Amino acid sequence: MKPGNDEVVRLENVKRHYLVGDETVRALDGVSFTIRRGGYWAIMGPSGSGKSTMLNILGCLDRPSEGAYWLNGENVADMGDDELSDHRLKNLGFVFQSFNLISQLTVCENIEVPMMYLGIPPHERAERAKALAERVGMGHRLRHLPAELSGGQRQRVAIARALANDPAVILADEPTGNLDSATSVQIMQMFEELYGQGKTIILVTHEPDIAEYAKSRIVLKDGRLLSLEESPVQRNVTPEMESGNA
């Protein structure tokens, strides 16, 4: 069944099985849930719970063995590599634990990468990259290389890059895993702001205090949904953001 317009992510009985030797590993074993536009979710669970697999599937880096995954109104479960790439480009923004900035590129160029693949003209790219960098408080470091930045600064740049394609969903994989607690707080505040601006955020973490920031929670265990607690999306969405995601 096609999901409603405000459902940005919808998983229907998603299974992901690997064959390791003669043994089938059921990394995900029938998970279903729905994430509404503007939600702020944490996906939790101990290691081996299927968290990473879930992240890869949500991030269109992997395909479910069974089941349907509706992303922004389209079932991506059976899509080919190019279509999945296009979905990543248009609908997803990644924030990784290890920042994953391209080390040869400057801050500005890193933020420009998604826009480059989207085919946005150079001058417009540069302008928007500058605006995004300012939005995450990195406007003064545009010409720096990632190696010249602190961890917190790098993660801000990564967030700016994740926002560059104005994605339907921001996927954050342990975004504070490599940061000290003070910086972690700053980064989490930034996600809070994005949530306030109406962004849909999915946080994958095993740290309960980080998961606390999220409004809704999914706990996985052994590839199954252990618990799901959803709080209604606060509708303090700015008009600009709403139109951007529609």
Partner 1 sequence: MRSGKIGYLWPFVKLGLTDVWRHKTRSFLTMLGMVFGVGSVVAMLAVGEGASQQSIDSIKKLGSDNIMVLSVKPSSEETGSTGQARGSLAVYGLLYEDADRILETVPGVKSLVKARMTQRVARVGERQLEMRVVETTPEWFGIVNRPLLDGRVLSERDLAYRANVCVLTEHGVRRLLSGREMVGQRIRIASGVFEVIGIVQNESGGTVRAPDSEADGYIPLTTGTKLFGEANIRYSAGGMEGEKVELSEIIVHMKGTEYVEAASRAIESVLKRFHKKPDYKIDVPLALLRETEKNKRTFNIVLGAIAGISLLVGGIGIMNIMLASVTERTKEIGIRRAIGARKSLIVVQFLINTCVLSITGGIVGLALGVAIPLLITLFTAMPTVVQPYSLALAFGISVGIGIVFGLYPAMRAAALDPIEALRHE
Closest distance between partner 1 and the C-beta of residue 110, in Å? 9
Decide: is 101 part of the binding site for partner 1 (CB under 8 A): yes
Residue 62: Cβ-neighbour burial (10 angstroms; 0-12, 13-18, 19+):
middle
Block residue for tokens 């536009």: 37
| Footprint on residues 160-189 left by partner 1 (CB under 8 A) | 161, 165
Decide: is 154 part of the binding site for partner 1 (CB under 8 A): no
Q: How far apart (Å, rounded) are the C-alpha atoms in residues 156 and 150? A: 10
> What is the per-residue binding string for partner 1 in 105-144, x denoting contact by CB under 8 A?
-------xxx-xxxx-xx----------------------
Where does this chain touch partner 1 (CB under 8 A) — which range of 27-35, 88-96, 144-152, 229-237? 88-96
| Footprint on residues 37-66 left by partner 1 (CB under 8 A) | 56, 59, 61-62
User: Tokens representing 65?
Assistant: 């063995």
Decide: is 203 part of the binding site for partner 1 (CB under 8 A): no
Q: How far apart (Å, rounded) are the C-alpha atoms in residues 222 and 106? A: 41
Gyration radius of the chain over CA positions:
18
Closest distance between partner 1 and the C-beta of residue 121, in Å? 6
Decide: is 74 part of the binding site for partner 1 (CB under 8 A): no
Q: Is residue 3 a contact partner of residue 36, using CB atoms and an 8 Å limit?
A: no
Q: How far apart (Å, rounded) are the C-alpha atoms in residues 88 and 26? A: 25
> Helices 107-118 and 151-163: crossing angle, nearest 10°?
20
Contact residues for partner 1 (CB under 8 A)? 56, 59, 61-62, 81-82, 85-90, 92, 94, 96, 100-104, 112-114, 116-119, 121-122, 161, 165
